[in-house]
Each structure stands twice: as structure tokens, then as C-alpha cells.
């Protein structure tokens, strides 16, 4: 490879530490939910880093940040670009690396390419996607790039706290008309790559340094509702009851077996169960169970849904209650580009780093970008697999390794 360009690890770490102080809360984590004062502070900090490095930031109609370096070769300006980035918003009391790692590493790659005056065939851009964590809409910024939002959709959008998107957006200086004009022409994109923490334990358990992400899981969801009969908790014998909660409990207990029947990568979760009439001495009549199910393969995702439906019906029969099932696949799986997976694996090998292929169980902006251009993702290990909490952590050496593999991949894609 000759002399290998690497990131400035000290600067990368210093930036992640500085960004990791913005929005720090008493509970120990970071709260930079989209369009909040701390999110604005983080974005302003990012603008300063770009200005300091002599880079230009374009802000699109929904606040996505698209960063360019002054062109070394002017005729490459209009060629399809290679994008890399992630997000700097967080969940409430979240961690320091989710999103921030990929956003700052991409900036660092662009800084290195710029300061070394490296001539590439295509421009490289560093991106910050708006509201990845979905304070207002899941993957808001990349959805805006991939398919755009109508004014009616934006006006109907409500935040987790019940506030209206349009209020938060205009208070943060946003323009609603511009917000409906964010869809980009796929012909302007050559490829996209995102570096991210794994947010799970797989790489750490394998003892591997780099994850080559094969695809992003598809997600289905909805609810299963069991209807039994409310009766006296003391006078109704156990035999012959129509207890909707006993049926609901049986369904939830069956989740591990149902997932195991589909095999690797299948997960099922119920996060909310509501019980009516909800009285300690009345047999539950109506129980509503939320169901979230995921798999990286579209056919297997459908098979997993069929397993859940079949089990819910069988359990309803067994316990003599009625069931209504309202499940649907909501986000299709996003397979990632094989050629970019090969580049990432080769870059890791060339740097003497161990790598393995794995799917992403979490959603990422890359699943939207994959609908626009060949897209890849690089994972680095999460200590104890923790994420979306103050304990979220990744060792600095893994941060540096991941950023270097990203740099190599971007240079390959941009054509050296």
C-alpha cells in the first residue's frame, strides 16, 4: 500500500471527549435530543470544528449537515460523491459514542484528506443526519434525503413528549417550506459508509476488532390483544376462567422458542402490556401486548411474524379467550453492498485487524442511504455490549482502528 494515511488519533479522541461534555446530565449520560438547546450547542460546536479545518458546511432544509473540503481538482466537484457520517443527537441520558463516533470520524477522515491535499476522483463529504434517534420521527434526516416529507406529514409529526415537530423546528430556526425540499437525486451519490459502535456484545465476545455489517435488520411490530371475561377473583374457580392475562403471559413466555425456530438473528420483544379492567381482585378481561420483532432477512422476518400469529391463535384456543392480531412488517431489512463489505474487510486485514461479518440489530440512517446508493457500515466493539445508557463505551484503540478502516474505505471508494 506504500505509505498509509491514518487519522490523527489524538485529535479524534479530543473531539469525541469535547462533544461528550455537551448535554451531560446529572444522571451521568448525555441528553442531546433533536432541536433541544443542547443539540443546537453540539451542532454549533461541529460548525466550529469545520470552520477551523477550512471545510464548508451546507445545511439542508431539515438540518442535515453536508460538509465539503475546498476542491483540490475543480472538475471533480460535480461528480457523484462519497458520503460518510452519522448523527450527534442522543436518546435522553444516552452514551457518548452512539452516532458521535461515526460523525466525528467522518469529519476526521475529511480533514486528513484535505490537509494532505490528496487528489481523489470523487469528492468525499462528511455528514451529520438530523434526529436519528427519532425524537420526532425515526431516522428523520436520512428519510428526508431518501424520500422527503410533505408539509402535511411534517405538521402531523409529534414528539415523544407530545410537542409538535413544527413548533420545535421553527423555534430552532427551521423553515417549513425548505423542509419539504430535502430529497436528493441519487445520481449525485456514488456510495455511503457509516462507522458506528456495535451496541451489542458480538464483536467483544469474538475478540474481534472490526465488524463488517452485512445488513440492517427489518422490523415488524404492532400488538396482540386477548379478550377474556372479567369475573370475581375469589369466587371463580381456576378451571373455566377466561383470563386474558394468563394467555398473554403464555405468549410472552413463548417468545424465546418462537425466535429459536427461525434461528440466528430473530428477536421478539414486548415492551408494554396493558390490562383491563386493571383491578387487583378482578380477572383480566382485555390484555394488550405490544410486539416488536426483527430479522435481517425479509423472508425470515415474514416467517417470524407467522410464528407469532400461529402461537397467539393456539394460545387463545388453549385458554378459551378471543384474540385479535394487529402485526405488520414496518421497516424492510436493508442488505448492505457486498463490494463495500469486501473493501472494509480488506482494509481491516491490511491493517492487521481481525474482523467478522455481522448484521445490525439496530436501525441506522444507512438503511435509508442504501436506497439511494451502494452503502456500507463498519462496527467497532461496545464494552459489555452496552448502549443507549451512560455506561456506553468503546476503547480508544478501537475508535482509532475503526476510523482508520473508514478512511481506507472512503479513499478506495473515492478513487485514489
**Residues within the interface to Zn ion (CB under 5 A):** 98-99
Q: Which three cell numbers stand for residue 103?
A: 460523525
- Smallest gap from Cβ 41 to Zn ion, in A, equals 19
Which phi and psi (to 5°) does residue 326 adopt?
-125, 80
DSSP SS3 for 398:
helix
Strands 189-197 and 81-86: parallel
We find the least distance from the C-beta atom of residue 99 to Zn ion, in angstroms, to be 4
- Residue 10 CB-density burial (10 A; 0-12 exposed, 13-18 middle, 19+ buried): exposed
Nearer to Zn ion, 98 or 243 (CB): 98
In whole angstroms, the minimum distance from the beta carbon of 200 to Zn ion comes to 12
Torsion of the alpha carbons at 26, 9, 112 and 335, rounded to the nearest 10:
-70
| Residues, the chain | 416
Of 99 and 123, nearer to Zn ion (C-beta) is: 99
Residue nearest to Zn ion (CB): 99
Cβ pair 119, 72 in contact under 8 A: yes
| 259-to-197, 226, 295, 360 alpha-carbon distances in Å | 25, 21, 10, 17
Q: Are strands 210-216 and 355-360 parallel, antiparallel or unpaired?
A: parallel
Residue closer to Zn ion by CB (options 98, 209) is 98
CB of 92 to Zn ion, least distance (A): 14
Distance from CA of residue 232 to its chain's centroid? 46
8 A C-beta contact, residue 197 and residue 379: yes
Residue 372 in 3-state DSSP? coil
Number of other residues whose CB lies within 10 A of the CB of residue 239: 5
Cβ of residue 275: shortest distance to Zn ion, in angstroms? 34
Q: Closest distance between Zn ion and the C-beta of residue 210, in Å? A: 17
Contact 43, 172 (CB under 8 A): no
Cell reading at 126: 462528511
Minimum CB distance to Zn ion, residue 116 (Å): 29
Please compute Rg for the chain using Cα positions: 24
Map residue 286 onto helix, strand or coil. Answer: strand
- Judge if the upstream peptide bond of residue 149 is cis by omega within 30 degrees of 0: no
CB of 86 to Zn ion, least distance (A): 6
What single DSSP character describes residue 27?
T
**Minimum separation from the CB atom of position 82 to Zn ion (A):** 20
CB atoms within 10 A of CB 44: 10
Nearer to Zn ion, 98 or 408 (CB): 98
Amino acid at each position: 500500500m506504500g505509505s498509509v494515511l491514518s487519522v490523527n488519533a489524538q485529535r479524534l479522541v479530543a473531539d469525541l471527549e469535547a462533544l461528550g461534555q455537551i448535554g451531560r446530565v446529572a444522571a451521568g449520560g448525555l441528553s442531546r435530543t433533536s432541536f433541544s438547546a443542547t443539540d443546537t450547542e453540539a451542532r454549533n460546536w461541529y460548525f466550529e470544528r469545520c470552520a477551523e479545518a477550512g471545510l464548508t458546511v451546507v445545511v439542508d432544509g431539515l438540518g442535515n449537515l453536508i460538509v465539503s473540503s475546498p476542491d483540490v481538482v475543480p472538475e471533480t466537484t460535480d461528480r457523484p460523491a462519497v458520503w460518510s457520517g452519522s448523527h450527534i443527537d442522543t436518546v435522553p441520558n444516552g452514551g457518548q459514542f452512539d452516532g458521535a463516533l461515526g460523525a466525528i470520524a467522518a469529519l476526521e477522515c475529511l480533514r486528513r484528506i484535505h490537509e494532505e491535499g490528496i487528489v481523489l476522483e470523487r469528492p468525499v463529504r462528511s455528514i451529520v443526519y438530523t434526529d436519528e434517534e427519532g425524537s420526532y420521527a425515526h431516522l428523520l434526516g436520512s428519510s428526508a434525503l431518501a424520500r422527503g416529507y410533505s408539509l402535511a406529514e411534517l405538521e402531523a409529526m409529534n414528539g415523544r413528549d407530545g410537542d409538535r415537530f413544527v413548533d420545535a423546528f421553527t423555534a430552532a430556526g427551521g423553515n417549513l417550506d425548505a423542509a419539504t425540499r430535502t430529497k436528493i437525486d441519487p445520481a449525485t451519490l456514488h456510495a455511503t459508509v457509516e462507522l458506528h459502535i456495535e451496541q451489542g456484545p458480538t464483536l467483544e465476545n469474538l475478540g474481534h476488532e472490526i465488524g463488517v455489517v452485512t445488513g440492517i435488520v427489518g422490523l415488524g411490530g404492532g400488538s396482540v390483544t386477548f379478550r377474556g371475561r372479567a369475573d370475581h377473583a375469589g369466587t371463580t374457580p381456576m378451571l373455566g376462567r377466561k383470563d386474558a392475562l394468563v394467555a398473554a403471559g403464555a405468549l410472552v413466555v413463548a417468545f424465546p422458542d418462537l425466535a429459536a425456530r427461525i434461528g440466528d438473528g430473530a428477536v421478539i420483544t414486548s415492551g408494554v402490556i396493558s390490562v383491563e379492567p386493571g383491578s387487583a381482585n378482578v380477572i383480566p378481561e382485555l390484555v394488550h401486548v405490544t410486539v416488536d420483532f426483527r430479522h435481517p432477512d425479509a423472508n425470515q422476518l415474514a416467517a417470524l411474524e407467522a410464528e407469532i400469529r400461529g402461537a397467539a391463535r393456539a394460545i387463545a384456543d388453549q385458554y378459551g379467550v378471543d384474540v385479535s392480531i394487529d402485526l405488520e412488517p414496518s421497516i424492510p431489512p436493508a442488505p448492505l453492498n457486498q463490494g463495500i463489505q469486501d473493501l472494509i474487510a480488506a482494509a481491516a486485514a491490511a491493517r492487521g485487524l481481525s474482523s467478522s461479518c455481522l448484521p445490525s440489530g439496530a436501525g441506522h440512517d444507512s438503511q435509508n442511504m442504501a436506497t439511494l446508493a451502494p452503502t456500507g457500515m463498519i462496527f467497532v466493539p461496545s464494552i459489555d455490549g452496552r448502549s443507549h445508557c451512560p455506561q456506553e463505551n468503546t476503547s480508544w484503540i478501537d475508535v482509532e482502528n475503526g476510523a482508520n478502516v473508514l478512511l481506507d474505505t472512503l479513499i478506495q471508494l473515492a478513487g485514489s
